[in-house]
Amino acid sequence: MLEVKLHDIGEGLTEGEIIGYFVQVGDHVTSDQPLVEVQTDKMTAEIPSPASGTVTEILFEEGDQVTVGTTLLKIDAGKENTKTKKTKQSAKKAWNTVKNKEKIILAAPYTRKIARENDIDLALIDGTGPGGRITDEDVYRFMNQAETEPAAKTLPLEIPFKGRRKQIAANMVKSFYTIPHVTHFDEVDATHLLSDQSILKKQGKPLSLTAFFIKATQLTLQEYPIFNAILDEENDIIRLQAHYHIGIAVDAKEGLIVPVIHHVEQKSMMDIHQEMKSLIEKAQTNTLSRAEITGSTFTISNAGPLGGMAATPIIHYPQTGILAFHQTKKRPVVMDDQIVIRSMMNISMSFDHRTVDGATAIQFTNRLKERLEQPAQMLVELS
């Protein structure tokens, strides 16, 4: 009898939520066939069958939280005989009896994404795929019917606190209560930055502002490596990281997630721009791989498109710092005793005060400001 367990499919994974099963007791499965879909704090993953055989037991239900190493279901990979067939048929009947009041929702992650974005309850849809699996076409068909027969919407009275949201909470609490946070605020004159971005766009080289932020941050981290470090309290060592892997905070449907651009020091701003676009798209469709969400040494958050003047970002434990870039607004500014209109942007930098002093944080942000306020000089620096 084979036991299919929840293995560690993500860095620091301790538990996951069962989204749904693709099989039922009594079903014959083949090797590598998807059996169950699990949502962790960082990704949605399908757990495949380790061998061909027959599903004999399903131990948990949709929505249950399970820890790493827990057996989710069992498969008989041996030869069939009359006795085991009868047992499996009885088990399948019993399972169906238990589940007749609670529909098993079988759907791929992308299908679920379509439903979420359109406020569709998958429990209302009858799947036409294998085993009653709901397909993309089923969701679109249901949406078309809803347009002609609109139904009243009711707001949920409870929101489940589990899956990625619960793990985000655990990570935030650990960081906040372990690291003595200090946040330094400053403002950047982004006038030249926006002008240069516009010129590049006209030349057929569109670059997002975040690409400038990432490259400027990496160059400044090279000058102030203490911020690209991890405090190893157990061994009384501050470990400076040899490479610059920048995490980008992304607001996805399932909650905050931080994909990582690795080896930023080896990449041009165009490389960073293109890779960042790909990672954000994957974050929004919940298709990031484990490698794409692990190994970051520093994190930035571009909150500007969402609005807001300032914030106190929480450090991505066990890193040393995090930068947040806020909304850019045109404001009157005094320059050379003259009032002029400039495009000003606030930045917030939280840092670990165990590792870094405030003066060093101010020096870091001052150097970062120089690069962002004179992007042409930064481009020369990269050439």
Which residues does the annotation mark as catalytic?
353
Apex 182 CA angle, 236 and 369, nearest 5: 105
Cα 320 to Cα 179, 324, 329, 350: the distances in Å are 9, 14, 29, 8
Q: Determine the Cα–Cα distance for residues 174 and 211; give it in Å rounded to an integer.
A: 30
**Structure letter (DSSP) for residue 134:** B
Integer-rounded Cα radius of gyration of the chain: 26
Single-letter amino acid, residue 340 = V
Q: Please choose, from the candidates 232, 248, 224, the residue with its C-alpha nearest in 3D space to the C-alpha of residue 296.
A: 248
Q: Determine the Cα–Cα distance for residues 315 and 103; give it in Å rounded to an integer.
A: 41
Cα 77 to Cα 41, 57, 87, 88: the distances in Å are 32, 13, 15, 13
